[in-house]
Amino acid sequence: MTDPLPPRFQEQVWQRIARAESKPGTAFWSDFVQVFLRAFTRPRVAYAYLTVLMAAGVAAGILTAQAERARLETDLGQRYVQTIDPYRLAASNP
């Protein structure tokens, strides 16, 4: 004995098929994520992924900090010059 199908079952199935076909990008990304996640079941890939991402974060942090430190220290040097050189103050504020 089988349960009866819900009302408008066939219509809903065809609508879902139509929606899936009208958005090929969604299927592509879904497949891509699945492949990506499946790769993590292999320990080597998972460790490599973690290592590369961590290293990328650290490298980005170091480089950004260097740039920020250089900018801040240049600003402070210019602030020192401006306190003792009024002409510089006028020139830097056109």
Partner 1 sequence: MTRPALILVFGLAGCLAGFLAFYFAGTASSRELLRQPSPELAWLKKEFNLGDADYERIVALHQAYLPGCAERCRLIEEQTAELRRLLEDASGVTHEIKAVMERRAKMRAECEAEMLKHFFDVSRTMPSEQGRRYLAWIEEQTFLRGSAMEQQHHPATHDHSSHQH
Options 2-10, 13-21, 24-32, 56-64: segment touching partner 1 (CB under 8 A) = 56-64
With binding defined as CB under 8 A, does residue 37 bind partner 1? yes
The tokens describing 8, both together, are 């408008």
With binding defined as CB under 8 A, does residue 36 bind partner 1? yes
DSSP-assigned letters across all residues of 29-53: HHHHHHHHHHHTTSHHHHHHHHHHH
Distance CA 9, CA 5 (A): 6
Q: Which residues bind partner 1 (CB under 8 A)?
A: 36-41, 46, 49-50, 53-58, 60-62, 64-66, 68-69, 72-74, 76-77, 79-81, 83-88, 91
